[in-house]
Every structure is written in structure tokens, then in C-alpha cells.
Structure 1
Amino acid sequence: MAELHFFTGTMDCGKSTLALQTDYNHRQRGLSGLMLTSHDRAGEAVVSSRLGLSVEAVEVSPSTDLWALAVDRLTAGARIDYVIGDEAQFYTPDQVDDLGRIADELDVPVYAFGILTDFRTRLFPGSARLVELADRVETLQVEALCWCGRRATHNARTMGGHMVTEGEQVVVGDTGVTGELSYEVLCRHHHRRRMTAASARVGETGAEPLPFAAG
């Protein structure tokens, strides 16, 4: 039986690179797949890696019916030996249900890639549903690093180098960008203190008072 496999991790840990490698490995065996994406950093209808690789894909919007998409292609004579869904955190719970249905009823393996939590450390609805439904959930072993050298566990949204904690959940951006809005991966310690690399350079400690020192 085909499985729904969810690969997760913070930004910068190589999820899209692994999605592209998975697609390449399958195509090398003569298989044909359905590539899905949503809000990729490089634009619509593409899966891209920070290493410079990219392939065309179907852009998933909130109204996309993934089950109908797969069935229509198969009915038209196309082959779908596997499905790869990148940026799966942006899929709706119903679309994740469709991925599970594709694996179960069409016997097509599905590989989903996405981050678990947003810049406020809240689960994305799509990722939450993937954790609930996936046959396997795997945290990628390539660890992104906080500016302090610790393992990065959280995604921070920054404006002008300073961490922000309010705003829309879905705002497309990337790490290592010099523009006003960007993202940075942080360890929990520095995410709690809102200490980005920029604030650390200028000496903003973000220290919290000890509970017995209050008042």
C-alpha cells in the first residue's frame, strides 16, 4: 500500500532540495510524477531550491481540488507514479485529506514537504493535518543553525532585522534577504527573547527578568 510521508523542518534545512532530489530519483527510474507547490520563493508554479535547482509544478491555491486534479489527469491518460507536494504547510486541511485519499485509493505514494510552525510558533493548519494523517513524519537531519550556533528550531519573521510577532500567517519571503521583510531561523532561546543576528550585533540582549526579581 502507498503511504503519505511528511518531511518537515525549519526553513534552511533543505526540504525543497530533498523534494527535487526525490523527484529526480523517481524520474531516473522511468517514473512520472505530479509536482505540487504553493507560494514558492521563486514565484508561482515552481519548486525551487536555494542551491539553484528548480522544476515546474502545479500551483496549489486554497480552491484547488487535489483529488479531482489527480483523477482528471489519470482519466486523460497521464501517468502518476508518485506525488510530491512542496510547501505543504500552505495546503488546506481538506487538501491534505485529498493527499491521503490519493495514497489510499489510487495507491500512489505521496511525499509532502513543509515547515510545522509559523513565525509565531503556531502550527500551520496544513502541517497539523499532515501530522494527524501521515503514515510517517520525518524531521530532516540537515540542521539549520541559529546565529549563536545552536540548532535552529523556530522560524522568525523580521522587519529591518528586528523580529516581529504580529501579522498575516502567510507572507512569502526568504532567509538571508537584505530587504525590509525577511525570515531568520532561531533556537528557542533566542526566539523567546526576540534576538535576531542583527539585534545581537548591536547589543540588544532581550534578557527577561528572573521571577523573584520582579517588583
Structure 2
Amino acid sequence: MPELVFFSGTMDCGKSTLALQIEHNRSARGLQGMIFTRNDRAGEGRLSSRLGLVTEAVEAGDGFDFHAHLVAHLTAGGRTDYVIADEAQFLTEDQIDQLARVVDDLGIDVFAFGIATDFRTRLFPGAQRLIELADRVEVLQVEALCWCGARATHNARTVDGQMVVEGAQVVVGDVGRPPGEVGYEVLCRRHHRRRLTAAAAGAGALSPDVLPVDGVPLPAPRR
């Protein structure tokens, strides 16, 4: 039976790499897929991984209709055996519903990849709808690591290495951006709660072994 599968994890855990691997494995067996993405780090109409792999994709903006696009493609004599949707957290709730219809009405497997929560630890609407509708939710087993060596579970937005806690939910960036640019860093829950990035730790803002106590405030948040 066709499925809607949501592969989820933090940034830097290999989601896009897995998407490209699935594409490679299935196309090598003679299957034909259609790849969609949104706001990829490599630019519009690209699906890229941090390992340097990249392939062309269909950019799915706010008004894009997955179901209508597939129906038009199939009606014109095209073939699609599976769908890959990367950066699925940026999709709208209606677009996730459309992907579910692609599975149920057209009998096509859909593999969606994305992070679940934003830099404020709140669910992205697209990710939340995927969790509600997916036949399976798979948490990627390649664990990203916090600067302290613990498993990274949260995504932090940074400016000049300092964590920011306010702003628009979607600001395109990547891990390891140069100083002065909006970037992202993966942190364990403890250091995300303390707003302690690698740069702040390196500057001696707070030792990871020291617990906050009354009268000793945490580093002030950037806004």
C-alpha cells in the first residue's frame, strides 16, 4: 500500500542526504519520481545536501498545488512512481493535505523530509500536519551533536554566534554561517534552554558544568 512517510530530525542530521539516497535507489531500479522542495540552501528549484550532492527539483511556493500538479502530469501521459518533498516544514497545512491525497487518490508513495520545530521549539504548521496525517513518522538515526557532545534535539537561530529568541518563524539560513549573518546551530535541550551556543561557551559565558542558581542570571537573549 502507498504511504505518506515523514522523515524528521534536527538540522544537520542528514535529511536531504537521505532524500537523495532514496531518489538514487529507486531511480536505479527503473522507477520514476518527482522531487519537490522549498527554500533550499542551494537556491530555488534545488535539493541539496551538506555533503555536496544536489539535484533539480520543483519549487513548491505558497500557491503550489501538489495534487493538481500530479494529476496534470499523469493526465498528459507522464509517469510518477513516488514523490519526494524536502523542507516539508515550510509547506502549508493545505499542501500537506494535498500530499495525503496524492497517496490516497493516486496511489503514489510520498516521502516528506523536514525538521519538526523552529528556533523557538514550536512546531512548524507543515510539520504538525504531517505528524497528524502521516502513515509513519521516522526520526532519523544519524544524530546531530550539540557542541557539548550530547545529542542535539533543538534548532537555534544565531546572529554573530549569539542565540536569538524572537523573529519570523521562517528565515532561510544554514549551520556554520559567517559572523554577521543569520545562522543556525543545533543544541541539546539543556543548552537551548540556557541559550548557550558554541560561541558563547567558547567565550566563557557559562560553564556547561555549572548550574544556574538564584542571583546568577542566564545570558541575556538577543532579539
TM-score with structure 1 setting the length: 0.96
Partner SS for 2:155 = strand
Per-residue CA deviations over 1:41-97 (Å, capped at 9, x if unaligned) read 010001000000011001011110111011011111111100000000000011000
Partner SS for 1:25 = helix
Per the TM alignment, residue 179 of structure 1 is displaced from its structure 2 partner at its CA by 3.7
What code does the residue aligned with 1:49 have?
A: S
Residue in structure 1 matched with residue 37 of structure 2 by the alignment: 37
What code does the residue aligned with 1:101 have?
A: R
- For 2:103 and 2:147, the matched residues in 1 are separated by 39
- For 1:198 and 1:173, the matched residues in 2 are separated by 17
| Consecutive unaligned residues in structure 2, runs of 5 or more | 216-223
TM-score with structure 2 setting the length: 0.92
- For 1:102 and 1:93, the matched residues in 2 are separated by 14
Partner SS for 1:47 = strand
**After the TM superposition, which parts of structure 1 deviate over 6 Å for at least 4 consecutive aligned residues?**
none
Per the TM alignment, residue 210 of structure 1 is displaced from its structure 2 partner at its CA by 4.8
CA contact (8 A) 2:161 2:179 kept: no
Residue in structure 1 matched with residue 117 of structure 2 by the alignment: 117
Identity rate, percent = 64
Residue in structure 2 matched with residue 195 of structure 1 by the alignment: 196
- For 1:129 and 1:29, the matched residues in 2 are separated by 31
Single out whichever of 172-181 and 98-107 deviates more from structure 2.
172-181
Partner SS for 1:129 = helix
Residue in structure 2 matched with residue 130 of structure 1 by the alignment: 130
Aligned to 1:209, which of 200, 213, 217? 213
For the aligned residue pairs, the C-alpha RMSD in angstroms reads: 1.2
Per-residue CA deviations over 1:154-199 (Å, capped at 9, x if unaligned) read 0000000000000010000000121421100000000000000000
Aligned length: 211
- For 1:157 and 1:117, the matched residues in 2 are separated by 12
Q: For 1:41-190, what aligned pairs fall within 5 Å after superposition?
A: 41-180=41-180, 181-190=182-191
Per the TM alignment, residue 208 of structure 1 is displaced from its structure 2 partner at its CA by 3.3
- For 2:101 and 2:87, the matched residues in 1 are separated by 19
CA contact (8 A) 2:2 2:108 kept: yes
